[in-house]
Amino acid sequence: MKKRCMYFCRLLALLLLFPALAACRQTSAPPEGGSGEVSRTGEENTEAGTEEDDTPKLILAANGESDYTFWLSRELYATSPEIKDELADIAKLIRERTGADIPIRSDSSAEEADFAEPGILIGNTVFPESAEVDLVMKNQDFYVGMSGNKVLLCGATKTGVYNAVRYFYNNVVLKQRPDGSQPLVFSQEYVYRSGKTYPINSVLCCGTELMQYRMVIPKDADVNERMLAYNLRYHLSQQYGQDFEMVTDDAPEANFEILIGRTNRTTADAQGSGYTVAAEDGKLQLLAGNMRGYEALDAYVRQELLRAGSGADYVLEDGFSHSGSPVNSLDDGTLLSEERSGDLRVMFYNVYGYNDSGPVSLRQELQLELFRLYQPDVLGMQEYSPAYHSSFTSMLNGIGYQQVAVSAGTSNYTPLFYRADRLEVVVSGYLRYAGPNDGNSKSVTWVVFRVRESGERFIAMSTHFMWNQPGIDANSARISNAQELLELIGGLRARYSGVPLIFGGDLNCQSGSDPMRMLLNGGMLVARDEAERKNDSNGYHSYSTYDTANQVYTQIPAVTGNYSTAIDHALVTPGTSVRVFTSLISPYTLYSSDHMPVLVELALG
């Protein structure tokens, strides 16, 4: 007898649910606030139809009493105080107007008997009625309906659920204005589904809407694969309204997946700086051969393949395939640095070894990809803080670079690294500049190298001059830095006559400044002026803005100005043959520091 009764109750619940679901699929105007958002103080402006008297109604409160409970999903109960506060306001208003108390409880405390009792279900609760709502909803979409003796306040996300609760407040409780003699009811006229309009309306991939897909990255995904995955997920969240699940490829395979990088089920291929997009058998594959390929793939997917438009609709047929590669440019330096044109490649780079502008570990991974791709023989860095030393040095060792050993140890903010397979150290040294010196970070590291294959020697130096720190005469400090550097260079040139010398780094002054004129008067030449091929950039920009929650850079600055306003320089001794001078501008360099790397190629002998 008990089983037959339970069966009848569930059948009745389903019969009552069908008209609710049919109504929620009808086109209806959003509540005040537009785009599916609900105004706390506004009245409902939907065109609710007039119902017959025999329309099912739920009596939520009457005669100072209520059989209902607000059941909030355990996840929301634990993580969404704003929803709990909103429910408390609703319960307070109902109590003030009707005298009835409706408690607020987490569904984690629900017992078997509670499943048959009247309830207002908020979010994805454990009650079976919550699971019966099978609607396709995007980020801020919500649904207010009923099933049997339950009111349903559902949303695709916390924001959606919050909007559903506000809708219930505005359009059910406030609209009816119940009192001691007037019951608070919920009927068919209050059933409502809200849907926000997104710039991308639909993406049909292999015959299935993309929101049915999930993202898959390799278990040991590198920074290129992770950056593409996070950027794409954020793009689709903002423009398409779907927060995609992301799993690693050791998870069981699903029917519909967006495969990022070289997962264990990726079948497409890409080499060098090329990239590939392929859709086949419910899989959308995105991968590239290296850093530049992933930068280009990211731009293609977000700006062309799934570009945000006014309600744009996209179709990726089963069998769709597209391959591409980055466009080399003189302006961004890629045209000059894709292939070597000299005997020696030197890079100077202020890596910004501090905590702002994104996690240090992430920026280090991005910078490592730059070094892996461009493979400078000598790498001179600035702002290489002790925190950077603690992890980045071993990362550089892992791709074949060794640090030039000097007396400063891990307190050397201007270190030199070199490719140990090509070069060997003859002699090296370190000088910390006198005068104003924040954190003892303004210094020069120098080394005499010998090329293993040819036996030729050259001198390289990494340096950082004083910046415009408040309370000091920064220009005088930089003049002092330049004077000390010239004295050091003079001593080295006397010992190693005829050996080419190059130094560079963040000099914190422009080409026409007093310190630069002193260096030129001391016999040095600006490498860019001597270069056969060069671009024209100041190589400096403001910091990027990092969204920690979504693990993406949301504001990426533009590099403006030309070399006349640059503060990162390279200088050489007369007679040194300079083939290339360029500032490297790309998404990775814009993310990872406020300075661009300066790349110089020399011809020896």
CATH code of the domain containing 228: 3.30.379.10
Strands 275-280 and 321-324: antiparallel
Domain-located, residue 493 = yes
438 and 365, same structural domain?
yes
45 or 240, greater pLDDT = 240
- Greatest mean pLDDT range, 479-488, 532-541, 543-552: 479-488
Closest CA to 592 of 353, 241, 341: 353
- Is residue 126 pLDDT above 80, yes or no? yes
**Residues 129 and 152 sit within 8 Å (Cβ to Cβ):** yes
- Is residue 42 pLDDT above 70, yes or no? no
Q: What would the pLDDT profile of 210-264 be if each residue is shown by its tens digit?
A: 999 999 999 999 999 999 999 999 999 999 999 999 999 999 999 999 999 999 9
**pTM for this entry:** 0.80
Q: How many CA atoms lie within 13 A of 455 on its CB side?
A: 0
- Overall average pLDDT of the 334-351 stretch: 91
CB atoms within 10 A of CB 439: 10
Strand partners, 287: 276
CA distance 456 to 453: 8
383 and 313, same structural domain?
no
Give the pLDDT of residue 139: 85
- Is residue 159 pLDDT above 90, yes or no? no
Which amino acid is it at 304? E
Which of residues 324, 356, 378 is at a domain's end? Answer: 324
- Is residue 446 pLDDT above 50, yes or no? yes
102 and 206, same structural domain?
no
222 and 95, same structural domain?
no
561 and 487, same structural domain?
yes
Residue 53: pLDDT band (50, 70, 90) is: low
- Overall average pLDDT of the 332-356 stretch: 89
Residue whose pair of structure tokens reads 């070289």 in the numeric block = 262
CA distance 177 to 173: 6
150 or 50, greater pLDDT = 150
251 and 169, same structural domain?
no
Give the pLDDT of residue 41: 29
- Overall average pLDDT of the 424-443 stretch: 96
Q: Is 472 helix (H, G, I), strand (E, B) or coil?
A: coil
- Greatest mean pLDDT range, 16-30, 147-161, 494-508: 494-508
Q: What would the pLDDT profile of 94-113 be if each residue is shown by its tens digit?
A: 999 899 999 999 999 999 99
Domain-located, residue 329 = no
Give the pLDDT of residue 47: 35
Strand partners, 321: 278
- Is residue 297 pLDDT above 90, yes or no? yes
What is the phi/psi pair of residue 512, to 5°? -95, 10
CA distance 452 to 420: 9
- Least confident range from 170-179, 373-382, 433-442: namely 170-179
235 and 183, same structural domain?
no
What is the phi/psi pair of residue 169, to 5°? -60, -50
Q: What would the pLDDT profile of 65-99 be if each residue is shown by its tens digit?
A: 999 999 999 999 999 999 999 999 999 999 998 99
- Overall average pLDDT of the 161-181 stretch: 88
Q: Where are the alpha helices (DSSP H) in 326-413?
A: 334-337, 360-374, 386-398
Based on the structure, what is the number of domains in the chain? 3
Q: How many CA atoms lie within 13 A of 333 on its CB side?
A: 28
Q: What would the pLDDT profile of 549-570 be if each residue is shown by its tens digit?
A: 899 999 888 888 899 999 999 9
Give the pLDDT of residue 12: 38
Domain-located, residue 510 = yes
380 or 311, greater pLDDT = 380
Give the pLDDT of residue 387: 85
251 and 103, same structural domain?
no
Give the pLDDT of residue 232: 98
Residue 177: pLDDT band (50, 70, 90) is: confident
Strand partners, 150: 119, 147
227 and 347, same structural domain?
no
Give the pLDDT of residue 49: 38
Strands 525-526 and 401-403: unpaired
What is the phi/psi pair of residue 386, to 5°? -55, -35
- Overall average pLDDT of the 178-198 stretch: 87
Domain span holding position 305: 200-324
Which of residues 176, 194, 212 is at a domain's end? Answer: 194
Give the pLDDT of residue 339: 84
CA distances from 353 to 373, 410, 430, 544, 558 (A): 21, 13, 20, 14, 21
Residue whose pair of structure tokens reads 């330049």 in the numeric block = 482
- Is residue 4 pLDDT above 70, yes or no? no
Residue 603: pLDDT band (50, 70, 90) is: very high
First to last CA, the chain: 100
Question: Average pLDDT, whole number, for the chain?
Answer: 89
Q: What percent of the chain has pLDDT over 90?
A: 77
Domain-located, residue 214 = yes
Give the pLDDT of residue 605: 77
Give the pLDDT of residue 326: 94
CA distances from 63 to 59, 77, 85, 179, 183 (A): 11, 29, 25, 9, 7
183 and 75, same structural domain?
yes
92 and 189, same structural domain?
yes
- Overall average pLDDT of the 160-168 stretch: 95
* Buried b or exposed e, range 121-139, using 16+ CB within 10 angstroms: bbbbbbbebbebbeeebbb
Residue whose pair of structure tokens reads 């793939």 in the numeric block = 297
576 and 502, same structural domain?
yes
Strand partners, 403: 417
Which amino acid is it at 197? T
Give the pLDDT of residue 536: 94
Which of residues 324, 346, 368 is at a domain's end? Answer: 324
Q: What would the pLDDT profile of 393-419 be if each residue is shown by its tens digit?
A: 999 999 999 999 999 988 999 999 999
Domain-located, residue 155 = yes
Give the pLDDT of residue 54: 62
CATH number for position 344: 3.60.10.10
Give the pLDDT of residue 137: 83
